[in-house]
Amino acid sequence: MGGETLLYDLSRQALWVLTLATLPALLAALAIGLVIGLLQAATSINEATLSFVPKLVGVFLVLMLFGGLTGGLLLDFTREAMEAIPALTR
């Protein structure tokens, strides 16, 4: 019984870590897309590829800025998951 509970906890924690790791990049892409969409609507420019480069640059900058934090978060989770393996095999 204990192994199943631990597995459920690790699964829940994995989903939470995934959410936290992807959130900065997704929010940056969302904000940039919203601003570009408003500018396109205001200027009547209907070019679908216009928002690609700013989103790419914005997401790259956010990943550079928050990469250490995200990497540390993923590393901590991986350590906890590896330490839980012996308890799962009982």
Q: Where in the chain are the domains?
A: 2-88
HSE at residue 73, side-chain half, CA atoms within 13 A, is 16
Tens of pLDDT along 50-60?
889 999 999 99
CB-based contacts of 80: which residues, under 8 Å, 6+ apart?
Answer: 10, 13
Tens of pLDDT along 33-50?
999 999 998 998 888 788
pLDDT the model gives residue 2: 63
- Please name the amino acid found at residue 62: V
Tens of pLDDT along 2-40?
677 888 999 999 999 999 999 999 999 999 999 999 999
pTM of the predicted model as reported, rounded to 2 decimal places: 0.80
Rounded distance between C-alpha atoms, residue 83 and residue 18, angstroms: 19
| Token pair 């991986």 in the structure block, residue | 78
